[in-house]
Amino acid sequence: MEVRDLHPWPSTRAEAEAIQDRLRPLLDLHSPGPERPRTVAGLDVSYAGGSEGTGTRLAAAVVVLDAATLRTVEESVAVGTAAFPYVPGLFAFRELPTLVEALRDLRTVPDLLVCDGFGVAHPRRFGLACHLGVLTGLPTIGVGKTAFVGAYAAPGARRGDAGPLTDGDEVVGRVLRTQDGVKPVFVSVGHRASLDAACRTVLELAPDHRLPETTRRADRLSRDALRG
């Protein structure tokens, strides 16, 4: 699939922040996106050892699922090294070069990308899901395991219970309970998707576990690649 070359990979914090500032106006945060995507791709990255050092070996995986059956349609994995220092708010730059390589090897163009991370629920309103959405032009959402920014009240204990994730006066995402009595996940829009549709899709992708199957399978594939 096509991934656009919109910028060189940065080497400094100032360069990375300038790229985020330049790409942020390209976000489409008003389109409703796919209400019922047919194919959904999960993206995840695993590290060999800690994830802090530049040059750390990593594997980026993309797993495309049939959204109705959760059957795996296609897989792609690339092994590389962390391309940028660990800087809060700029973590995407560590993973993007290898993720882009894995995406470009896909034959299937999915209807939706589900990132293990954040979209606009980010201090600069430009998390990994936003960046990948702009580079690919595809509808993209982020599903985080913990909150990066914002405040929230714990949602109810039942599957499907949810509440807003707010940063100041702005709603930047939703705290969503995917299974009864388990910790919630943090859903945010990246590009060309609505928060309502994103949460509905995440629930459909998580019939049995806390995390959506897209994330679970991409995580497994990336870990297997590092072991291999």
> Is the torsion defined by CA of 141, 145, 151, 154 positive or negative?
positive
- Distance between CA atoms of 209 and 219, rounded to whole angstroms? 14
Is 111 assigned to a binding site?
Answer: no
Element (H, E) at 93: helix 92-104
Is 224 assigned to a binding site?
Answer: no
Indicate the residue type of 141.
I
Residue 162: alpha-carbon gap to chain centroid: 19
Q: What tokens does 184 get?
A: 């919630």
Tell me if residue 141 falls in helix, strand or coil: strand
> Is the torsion defined by CA of 33, 116, 155, 38 positive or negative?
positive
The angle at the Cα of 206, spanning 40 to 102, to the nearest 5 degrees, equals 35
The answer to whether 59 and 45 are in contact (CB under 8 A) is yes
The answer to whether 56 and 49 are in contact (CB under 8 A) is yes
80 secondary structure, DSSP code? E
The answer to whether 140 and 119 are in contact (CB under 8 A) is yes
How many other CB atoms are there within 10 angstroms of residue 186's CB atom?
A: 23
Binding residues for Mg(2+): 44, 116
Binding residues: 44, 116
